[in-house]
Structure 1
Amino acid sequence: MSKKIDISFEDEESLSTHLKRRKTRPQVKKPVVKQSYEANADVQRWLNTQTIDQKDLTKPPFAPTFLAGQRDASWILSSLSSFYEQDLITDVLHVVKSGKEATVYCCLADPLTGLEYAAAKVYRPRMFRSLRNDAVYRQGRTQRDVEGHVVRNSSHHQAAFKSQRGRAMQVSSWIEYEFQTQLHLFAAGANIPRPLAQVGNSVLMEYIGTVGEPAPLLQNVILDHEEAPALLASILNDMELFLAHNRIHGDLSAYNIVYWEGEVKIIDFAQAVDPTQSEGTFPIFLRDVERVASYFAQYNLVIDALAVATEIWTRQQGAF
């Protein structure tokens, strides 16, 4: 038989206080509502800069059906409308891939380009906060302040980009540098997608693959052992070609190489560096070689990454 627990109170006031305490519900913290990146002042300024005035349009407004209902439709539309106005694309078909910093879209290319499809890489608004490993890759690039002047001193560099306007200028310069690198290397004969245009936060290039089936990343491909040696040689040749034209990819791996119909193409040059602008960039180049070597090791293609990187670097040292 269970015992009845007797709780006694010395007076009525303490009993009343006890009952009120029992009825009081525990306080629950309200969830923090995060402000969208699109609402950021820098982002809004960027959007206003890119948005095309409807009265200046020379053709019907760009209105891809794919964007209907998309949460960030206004951001994407403002990012791609200029390509439409330049007769480079006519429609947006689907998302190719989406990452932390950018989303790539498959677009229907304008016949004037000579291509059937184009890939539009649109950087997200979060880029106004940071770019991954930004400080590391600034070492191999020419930096400019809000007036376009070269910034060489590190303390001056920090001051130059402390303001919102300065940060926006830094992001703009970063994306423009990526596109200029693509133009530079494609003209040199590198196996990369053909670059088409760059406006603001967007880069347009040749699309590799078919609609709904973009070329897979090399990381996700199981190669025939017979084709692996030629593909490894192709990638190493491109890396040397990059170096001969004063570029290091900076983030090369099987995740930044696509495979299509027996060939490979290198993509994503956001972290490319120019070895002529800074000393100490060999470790970045070596890391690229190591990552490529690591992927091909599964096909019994074992190379000494340090020896190969050193040989290529020494052979091309005269270029920088």
Structure 2
Amino acid sequence: MDPLFVFDYVPVDGPDDAPHDGPRAPETDDAEQRFTTYWDVEKGCRGPDPVPEWVITDSGALDTELGVLKTGKEADVFLVDRTAPDGTGVVMAAKRYRDLDHRSFRRSAAYTEGRTARRTRDRRALSRKSEWGRAVAAGQWAVAEWDALCRYWSAGLPVPYPVQIDGTEILMELIEYDGTPAPRLSQVRPDVELLEEYFFQMRTAISVMAAQGVAHGDLSAYNILAAGERLVIIDLPQVIDLIANPNGPELLLRDCRNVCSWFQARGLDVDAQELFEEVTPV
């Protein structure tokens, strides 16, 4: 027999299969399991290259839900363990957007000016606020955050690596510190030296985003994670275009004010107006 047509067959248990002697995903009470959908989504729905080594792409991997990490105004974040058949595993963050009927985020109009749905049917559904329109709206926020994560990560900005998007769920890197999810910047009390380093990182990030013609739009110490000496920006669905959105300059200034006010409260001599003028594209 031609050796080119010979291969080793390795059975892979699914979520409902009985236990076997090989490695399995970790089990928890009432844990929900599914096969990974990494290769089921379109190429543009998988993270940008180069894919980090920790990302598991084995089609036989199992995703196990471990519980809620945090709840938010427009989405909830869950912990998901992805384990390959060989026992290699990684825990990721799964952000799942709610439909408009189950969200408390009420300031979306200021962020979505300048955005349009691609399909005529979707635009009509959005204007009528039909059931399909609510689904489209939730999807738009997920896609907006996905696009921002991919764009910023590729530009070298401090954001979680986006693993994949499937509908209104984004799987992304879980930012950790000392083996646990990293705290928000609002929860830490850095010394003076680290405080200065933190501000340098934020000033650089805001400047790079502005140079690309965008702003976070809702940046504050509550959506910045402190992973030791590194800051990571999260919660990016409302990223706004500084040119297409008439609220762009105002929201960029608010980002600068929110960030500077936190550093000022901890004794660092910074000025929001100066930061705004420094980062605003000429």
TM-score (norm 1): 0.66
Q: 2:79 aligns with which of 102, 106, 127?
A: 106
Q: CA deviation at 1:167?
A: 2.4
Which aligned pairs between 1:95-244 and structure 2 lie closer than 5 A?
Answer: 95-110=68-83, 116-125=90-99, 131-145=105-119, 147=121, 160-209=127-176, 213-244=180-211
The one-letter code matched in structure 2 to 1:205 is: M
The one-letter code matched in structure 2 to 1:195 is: P
Judging changes above 3 Å, is the alpha-carbon distance between structure 1 residues 310 and 93 closer, same or farther for their aligned structure 2 residues? Answer: same
Mapped partners of 1:231, 1:165: distance in 2: 43
The one-letter code matched in structure 2 to 1:173 is: Q
Mapped partners of 1:66, 1:103: distance in 2: 20
Check whether the contact 2:99–2:135 (CA below 8 A) recurs between aligned residues.
no
Mapped partners of 1:261, 1:272: distance in 2: 26
Check whether the contact 1:216–1:259 (CA below 8 A) recurs between aligned residues.
yes
SS at match of 1:160: helix
Q: Which has the higher helix share?
A: 1
Check whether the contact 2:75–2:103 (CA below 8 A) recurs between aligned residues.
no
Mapped partners of 1:60, 1:235: distance in 2: 44
Unaligned runs of 5+ in 1: 1-57, 152-156
The structure whose Rg is larger is: 1
Mapped partners of 2:197, 2:255: distance in 1: 18
Mapped partners of 1:253, 1:194: distance in 2: 20
Mapped partners of 2:89, 2:204: distance in 1: 26
Judging changes above 3 Å, is the alpha-carbon distance between structure 1 residues 242 and 142 closer, same or farther for their aligned structure 2 residues? Answer: farther
Q: 1:270 aligns with which of 237, 254, 261?
A: 237
| Structure 1 equivalent of residue 14 of structure 2 | 60
The one-letter code matched in structure 2 to 1:133 is: R
How big is the alpha-carbon RMSD for the aligned residues of Structure 1 and Structure 2? Answer: 3.2
Q: CA deviation at 1:279?
A: 2.7
Q: Which has the higher strand share?
A: 2
| Structure 2 equivalent of residue 44 of structure 1 | none
Higher relative contact order structure (alpha carbons within 8 Å, sequence separation ≥ 6): 2
Judging changes above 3 Å, is the alpha-carbon distance between structure 1 residues 128 and 164 closer, same or farther for their aligned structure 2 residues? Answer: farther
SS at match of 1:255: coil
Mapped partners of 2:127, 2:207: distance in 1: 34
Check whether the contact 1:141–1:273 (CA below 8 A) recurs between aligned residues.
no
| Structure 1 equivalent of residue 45 of structure 2 | none
| Structure 1 equivalent of residue 52 of structure 2 | none
Mapped partners of 1:172, 1:214: distance in 2: 26
Report the number of matched residues.
Answer: 243
Mapped partners of 2:131, 2:84: distance in 1: 39
The one-letter code matched in structure 2 to 1:122 is: R
Mapped partners of 1:181, 1:115: distance in 2: 26
Q: CA deviation at 1:177?
A: 1.2
Judging changes above 3 Å, is the alpha-carbon distance between structure 1 residues 307 and 211 closer, same or farther for their aligned structure 2 residues? Answer: closer
Judging changes above 3 Å, is the alpha-carbon distance between structure 1 residues 143 and 298 closer, same or farther for their aligned structure 2 residues? Answer: same
Check whether the contact 1:119–1:206 (CA below 8 A) recurs between aligned residues.
yes
Runs of 4+ in 1 over 6 A off after TM superposition: none
SS at match of 2:208: helix
Judging changes above 3 Å, is the alpha-carbon distance between structure 1 residues 164 and 68 closer, same or farther for their aligned structure 2 residues? Answer: same
Mapped partners of 1:222, 1:82: distance in 2: 40
Identity of aligned residues (%): 30
The one-letter code matched in structure 2 to 1:92 is: E
TM-score (norm 2): 0.74
The one-letter code matched in structure 1 to 2:266 is: Y
Which aligned pairs between 1:289-308 and structure 2 lie closer than 5 A?
Answer: 289-308=256-275
Mapped partners of 1:101, 1:64: distance in 2: 29
| Structure 1 equivalent of residue 47 of structure 2 | none
